[in-house]
Amino acid sequence: MSPETVKLAVVQMHVTDQLEDNVSRAIAHVRDAAAQGAQVILLPELFENLYFCQVEREEYFDLAHPLEGHPFVGRFQELARELGVVLPLSYFEKAGQAHYNSLVCIDADGTLLGNYRKTHIPDGPGYEEKYYFNPGDTGFRVWDTRFGRVGVGICWDQWYPETARVMMLQGADFLLYPTAIGSEPAEVESPNSHHMWQRAMIGHAVSNSTYVAAANRIGTERVGDLEQTYYGHTFISDYTGEMVAEFGDTEEGPLLHTLNLREARKFRAGMGFFRDRRPELYGPLLTTDGVTRRG
């Protein structure tokens, strides 16, 4: 049975090109969050290294590792067990000849509950993820943890209402998104702003009557001959779309808020969004061009 409340922390941090530096700092942030009472703690996407997807370079495939025997996942299992916290953990996965942008959910006793492979893979200047990552093959995942049913998408997934809706249909109590996002190259017309990014996820909060939170990195990173500045603005939205906690573009550490899951469930039922759905009419969503073909 899901708890009535959960204390959530989302971590904002800078990242270097040194694995041990990043992992040690991430562990320190997790300890800090747990000391403040956090029960579920989310670190940013691919916090183990610089966001290498700025460029296409063969050598960056060396950063990927299988989940079994992974260089740092086991350390976070031990940390989760020690502190009694849930850790949805982003990492670069190698599986046979495939590579994935993945996340493993670690329960509060250190158990690995399962693996999620990022579904939506972006491809654009400064975000060349299709070069590195196979499209995820796990489907969307929701995990029963000690502190509720946790649904997690990864970065680009956060722009898709389908991701949020599927996880809610699977019974998620709240939605989390580890991310790495910031400035665009000069030739790109997309806005260099956190506002649209936040609004997309706040829309998921409203249309699903659920808490939504995202953890972003900060700082300027140079990879190859490119440079990006990550805009932070890690945040937590409540089930009505109100921003209840937010960092700016420089703060580092855990951002905390207590989620009232009981009130969210009651509000969600009263809004009727899930009662009034018409899935039998949503066939075009299963196509790429909006034309449902029969026979």
Residue 1 has pLDDT above 90, yes or no: no
* Cβ(152)–Cβ(141) below 8 Å: yes
Q: How far apart are CA 170 and CA 168, in angstroms?
A: 5
* Of 93, 128, 155, 221, catalytic: 155
> Which stretches of 222-260 are DSSP H helices?
none
Residue 187 has pLDDT above 90, yes or no: no
- Quote the longest CA-to-CA distance of the chain: 59
Full domain range(s) for residue 54: 5-286
Residue 255 placed within a domain = yes
Residue 173 placed within a domain = yes
pLDDT of residue 86: 98
Residue 144 placed within a domain = yes
Residue 264 placed within a domain = yes
* Cβ(10)–Cβ(176) below 8 Å: yes
Structure confidence by residue, pLDDT tens digits, 110-143: 999 999 999 999 999 999 999 999 999 999 999 9
User: Is position 118 annotated as part of the catalytic site?
Assistant: yes
Q: Which segments of the chain are extended strands (E)?
A: 5-14, 40-42, 87-95, 98-106, 112-117, 142-145, 148-152, 174-178, 211-215, 217-223, 226-231, 235-237, 243-246, 253-260
In the three-class reduction of DSSP (H, G, I as helix; E, B as strand; rest coil), residue 97 is classed as coil
Residue 199 placed within a domain = yes
* Of 105, 118, 128, 129, catalytic: 118
Token pair for 106: 């670690």
Average pLDDT over residues 198-210: 98
Residue 79 placed within a domain = yes
Average pLDDT over residues 234-239: 98
Overall domain count for the chain:
1
pLDDT grade for 193, boundaries at 50, 70 and 90: confident
Phi-psi region of 5 (alpha: psi -120 to 50; beta: other; left: phi over 0): beta
pLDDT of residue 143: 98
* Cβ(213)–Cβ(177) below 8 Å: yes
pLDDT of residue 93: 98
- CATH code where residue 167 lies: 3.60.110.10
User: Is position 105 annotated as part of the catalytic site?
Assistant: no
Helix axes 19-35, 73-83, angle to 10 degrees: 10
User: Is position 45 annotated as part of the catalytic site?
Assistant: yes
Residue 124 placed within a domain = yes
Residue 191 has pLDDT above 80, yes or no: no
* Cβ(23)–Cβ(65) below 8 Å: no
Average pLDDT over residues 190-210: 92
Residue 293 placed within a domain = no
